[in-house]
Chain A
Amino acid sequence: EAQVTQNPRYLITVTGKKLTVTCSQNMNHEYMSWYRQDPGLGLRQIYYSMNVEVTDKGDVPEGYKVSRKEKRNFPLILESPSPNQTSLYFCASSFLAGGRFTDTQYFGPGTRLTVL
């Protein structure tokens, strides 16, 4: 089954304690991306990656890091989480066509993060 998986699905942590949210896809997609969803703001893109070792900043990259060492994985790293990073996070992936992501961007189920 084609899918994007995220772990953990729920996480409560404290300010300053480093954490990693994993994202994995089994569709051999080149393009992967992280978003956060906040009430009244919709989804905002954090980082995206066009392929292994290629990452770019999205709309709200501050306070986040990513890596793309393997095609299937795209972890999101919060080195020193703060309460304003409390949010619902989504990972997504798609094929590239002509250098652009394609319509069928598959989203993971989401990770709800609370930073106290």
Chain B
Amino acid sequence: DQQVKQNSPSLSVQEGRISILNCDYTNSMFDYFLWYKKYPAEGPTFLISISSIKDKNEDGRFTVFLNKSAKHLSLHIVPSQPGDSAVYFCAASARNDMRFGAGTRLTVKP
């Protein structure tokens, strides 16, 4: 039973355009959400997070939006750069456990 779902296995965008990665969750107890980025042969690295008391968090080119009623969050990358090409994982937490989505492979074309 996957409580965190990323329904798009892959996404391709042009350099300079916006990348939007989506994530849905089913457990209403989740109160903290994170996005991680992963390059091949490396461990994931933290990108941005959001608490359930907020609906938006911004850090430079990265913005995460949370829609609690829809149990949906999204990561916006503007403008997208070729170096952003990686696998992005959405994660959710209720206490100190973590549930991850299956990941979305983002390709940013020059």
The residue in chain A whose Cβ has the minimal distance to the Cβ of B47 is A103
The residue in chain B whose Cβ has the minimal distance to the Cβ of A106 is B43
B interface majority secondary structure: loop
Chain A residues with CB under 8 Å of B100's CB are 35, 42-45
Task: From B44, B99, B103, give the contact of A107 (CB < 8 A).
Answer: B44
Assess whether B96 is in contact with A4, with CB atoms less than 8 Å apart. Answer: no
The residue in chain B whose Cβ has the minimal distance to the Cβ of A58 is B97
Chain A residues 77 to 116 lying within 8 A of chain B, measured CB to CB, are 90, 92, 99-101, 103-110
Assess whether A56 is in contact with B43, with CB atoms less than 8 Å apart. Answer: no
Chain A nearest Cβ from B35, distance in angstroms: 10
Binding site for B on A (CB under 8 A): 4, 31, 33, 35, 40-45, 48, 50, 56, 58-59, 90, 92, 99-101, 103-110
Binding site for A on B (CB under 8 A): 2, 4, 6, 32, 34, 41-46, 49, 89, 91, 93, 95-103
